[in-house]
Structures are given as structure tokens and as C-alpha cells.
A and B are shown apart, each in its own frame.
Chain A
């Protein structure tokens, strides 16, 4: 059972403004250094890491802080990427303007999927999102005139901000986008809505009694998380400039869930560390051979059994030791 207290003391310590700023500054400095001085392979790794961090933090937001099981993160990521790409390539919309449109499209879609699930807690969201995820993949594969079908989209335009953004410059953009996202994420957790979201997770009845609209709060948590996945999709699309329907595969969602589990569900520091750790082992993500997928499965079981609180639990123990 989850504790009845909405924010534990431990959580409050982690939510201090100073902690957030310190993390943001550290990640900004390391990220910018990597973007400026890394070679092209390292910059690609950096952009992919920024994309994955946005995905795992937002997945952790809905699974960990909101207590709902979303299995459509890859679908929202894919829709964000494809919407941006189709807008800029086919319709000639500037990439920077494609971002708000992609966010609105995904926010709308996730609201439609999320409404019935928010009314009925339990497995509704998990089942609805999984169904949605598979349906979207089928639709994308079957409409080649818009999405390029199984072949995908190539030669997506470059991101254009006072000149063409690619290579190192794109690395800087990715780091800045991520850090802004990170600040917004932590700010949201401390806001009234963020506290309401964790309160509804811990005790829906008590939250309702305290005047929180449980259904709206759950829906907001889900839609915000989905929209963040679209941001990651946008960031991904204009760096790689080629997309294929593999992006929508539900297996990606499982890999991100695995990163969240290793980091510690509902523990953003742990999730950041876990993602960095698992994402910079490129073999781990790049080549989905049977053996690596099998290994993810074994580690998933092992993490659940032996380290259910993940790296976050480890961090908490160190912090407790340092205080005493």
C-alpha cells in the first residue's frame, strides 16, 4: 500500500528548489561541453540521450507520480515526430512552428484516449493505450501516401533558427530543450497541480474530499506526459531527418519503462541516472537482437525482485547517511 501522507519528508527534501537548480546546472554544463567538444558520434549520442531523458522522465511522471499505466508512449513519440516531419516536409511549415502543432495534435489524441480511462481507474488506461498504440502503428504503415508506409519518411527539412541547425548546434539545442523541459517538469511537480496528481495517486477518496477533481487530475497527468513525448518526437525528427514506423513499436515503451524501473519509479533523480546509464550503452538500444531483448527481460524481473526502488532507493540511502 502507498502511504497516506501525500508528500513524505524524503520527497520534500528532493523537491527543494536548490536541488533542481543544481541538477539543471550540472546537466546543462556537461551537456553543452559534450555538444561543443564531442565528435559527431558523441553528438548523436547526446541528442538521443536528451530525447530519451524527456521520454523516461515523462513516462515516470505518468507511471510514478500519477500512478497510471500508460503503454502508448512510443505512439505519442511517433505521432509527435511524424506530425512535425509531415508538416515541414509536405506542407512546408517551418520546423519551429511544427512544434506547437505537433504538441496540440498529441494533446488532443491523448485526451480522447484518456477520458474513459480517467473515469475508470485500474487497467483501463493500460489497455486503452496499448490498443491505441497498435492501432496507430497499423494506420501509419497502411497510409503510405502521407507517412511513407513501411518505408518511412526521408529528407525531412533541417531545423532553421537564424541559419541551419545541425551537428554541434543541434546538440546545443537538444541540451537546452531538455533542460527547459526538466525545469518545467520539476516546477510542475511542486505546483498545485503536481501535488494534486500525487495526492490522487496516494488516496483518490481523500483527494476528492479535499476538493480535487480526481478525473481531471488523472487526465491532466496523462495528457501532460503524452505531450512531452511529442516534444521528444519533434527533437528526434529534425536531428535524424528520417523516420520509419519502427518508432511506434510498443517495445520501445517497454524499454523506457525498464529504464524507469531501474532508475526507481516515481523518483526523478534515479530516473535521470538510470536513463543516462542505460542509454549510453548504445548496444543496449541500437540492436534489438533476440539476446539483448532477452537480457532486458531478465533484468526487468531481477530489478523488480531485488531492487524494486531502483537507483532512486540507493540515492535516498546515501542522502540519509550524509544527513546523519
Chain B
């Protein structure tokens, strides 16, 4: 019984970190620009798929990771520069911006389907795809350790960036009051560009965490992408930690439910929890500290 609880917590934390990181990438963009970028799950898909393609082409493995993350992040930045910025400068309504980003999501997803094909291919993890046995009843894929380590490092890194660098602080100021930020000389265009880049980078990292556990294919970003912003809204927008709390809560609940309930219920659980949170605790689990 203890072993099975530990097993559930380990797998739940793994799913939770993946959801939490995606939630963080939504959070960064949402706080810098008030845009909920529904295309966010596609950058992880691009990182995983281009990783699979580059490995097949015989490139050295570390270079593959680097290059695929660069490709995904570049695409995210390009989307901001070519589509979001012109719309924002013209003062387009949020509805139009969000619809354009839906367009980006569709274009990225289905052009991948067209060029890469609809198949799903295994992606080799940085330390292989073996499974470690701890004792006789707990099993832990090596990739899970990678998820815990890289996930923690990314969270700490992004928080340090937001607290201690000029750009990161600018981003936080823009989140609190975009007009005030402009008054004190923060370039909102630059803040938005950095936020889309950082969001893209986080999502691309998730591609290398999730891809080896699952596969690389044109649709892999869809479900985690949705779970990511659901985790964000469950955790709350009070601080970047809301993303982690929401992600872990969602991941552990889902894995627990799929263990003890028929999988039918587990599949819809995230959406059910979200509606409950909206009804009874609409600002999310974590609340802003009021002084």
C-alpha cells in the first residue's frame, strides 16, 4: 500500500511538473501582455518533432537538443514579432489577437502533420529510456528523474530571472500596471517579445521532458497545452508558484484518480476540477498576499 502511494505520488509529480511548466509559460506571457496564447503547447511539439527528425539525420545528441530548442523558441519569437506586435501596435482588440494566435496554433500543428506526417515516433531521452526498480514494487523511468531535475531548475531559473534581472523585473512591472511601466521607461514591445521567447523556451524544454515519456508527433502538444492553462487557472495567477501548485495538484489528482477509478473519469477530471475551482475559488488555490 505504501509502495503504491509512493508510486502514485512519483508519477503524479512527473505529470504535475510538466503541466506546471506549461502553466508557467502561459503565466509569463499572460502577465507581460494580457494574452492567453493558445499556441503555447505547439512549441513543445516542435521541439520534440524537430528533435526526432534531427536524431534521425545523425546529428550528435547534445546538438540535437540545443538546435531543436532554438528552433522552437525562434518560432515563438517570430510569431510575436510578425503577428502579435503589428496587431498590438494597431490597437487591435484582444479577440482579434487571440484569434490570430489560434491561427498560429492551427498552422504550426497542421503544417507539421503535412511535412512530418501523422505518425508518432519515439524520442530518445537524454539518459535513455530505461526504467529503474526501487525495491520490488516501485518503478521509476530514468526520464522521470530528468523531469524532476530539469523541472525544478527551470522553475528556480525563471523565478530568479523575474526577480533579479532588469528584463524580468520589467516584465513583472508590466504585469502590475502596463501604463505605469511605460511611464518609467519600460518598452512594452520588448517585454512582450521577451515573454513570448521565455514562454517558448519553457515550452520547448517541456518538449524534451514529455517527448521521451510519450512520443514525438504533430498532436502531442494539444492535450498538455490545454492541461497547462487549466493548471494555471487552478493554481491561480498570484505568483509564478501558482503555476507549480496548480500543475502538481492537477497531476497528482489525475494519476490518483486513474489508479483508483475507471479511466473514463480520470480523462475528464481536469475539466471538472477547473469548473469546481471557478465556482468555489475563482482566483485559484494560491492567493495574492495582501499587505
Contacts and interface: CB of A to CB of B under 8 A. Distances in A.
Contacts of B93: 2, 265, 308
Main secondary structure of the interface of A (DSSP, over half): helix
Interface string A294-309: 1011111100110010
Nearest to A142: B264
Contact of B95 (A69, A139, A298, A305): A69
Nearest to B223: A134
Given A116-B278, A130-B226, A297-B105, A135 B272 contact: yes
A114 to B, nearest CB: 10
Contacts of A254: 102, 106
A272 B226 CA distance: 31
A68 to B, nearest CB: 9
Contacts of A116: 278-279, 282
A24 interface: no
Contacts of A117: 278
A294 B99 contact: no
B268 interface: yes
Contacts of A304: 83, 87, 92, 96-97, 99-100, 103
B133 interface: no
Interface centre among B98, B103, B233 (most CB of A within 10 A): B103
Contacts of A142: 264, 267-268
B113 interface: yes
Interface in B131-164: none
Interface residues of A, number: 44
Nearest to A304: B100
B289 interface: no
Nearest to A294: B110
Interface in B91-141: 91-93, 95-100, 102-107, 110-111, 113-114, 118
A69 B274 CA distance: 17
Interface stretch (A121-129, A152-160, A166-174, A186-194): A121-129
Given A1-B91, A305-B83, A308-B92, A300 B275 contact: no
A165 interface: no
B196 interface: no
B100 A305 contact: yes
Contacts of B272: 135
A258 B98 CA distance: 12
Contacts of B274: 127-128, 131
A257 interface: yes
A308 B278 contact: no
A124 to B, nearest CB: 7
A63 interface: yes
Interface string B228-255: 0110010000000000000000000000
A200 to B, nearest CB: 15
B55 interface: no
Given A117-B278, A127-B229, A301 B271 contact: no
Interface centre among A124, A131, A257, A305 (most CB of B within 10 A): A131
A132 interface: yes
B188 interface: no
Nearest to B114: A290
Contact of A300 (B106, B282, B283): B106
Given A2-B93, A294-B106, A300 B99 contact: yes
Contacts of A293: 106, 110
A118 to B, nearest CB: 11
A290 B110 contact: yes
Contacts of B111: 294
Contacts of B175: none
Contacts of B230: 127, 131
B275 A294 contact: no
B177 to A, nearest CB: 16
B275 A296 contact: no
B82 to A, nearest CB: 9
Contacts of A120: 282-283
Interface string B252-291: 0000000000001001101110110011001100000000
20 contacts: A64-B95, A67-B95, A115-B279, A123-B233, A128-B275, A138-B267, A257-B99, A261-B99, A265-B95, A297-B102, A300-B102, A300-B106, A301-B83, A301-B100, A304-B87, A304-B100, A305-B86, A305-B87, A308-B90, A308-B96
What are the 9 closest A-B residue pairs judged by CB atoms, nearest first? Answer: A297-B106, A300-B103, A304-B100, A135-B271, A301-B103, A116-B278, A297-B107, A131-B271, A294-B110
Interface of B: 30, 36, 83, 86-87, 90-93, 95-100, 102-107, 110-111, 113-114, 118, 226, 229-230, 233, 264, 267-268, 270-272, 274-275, 278-279, 282-283
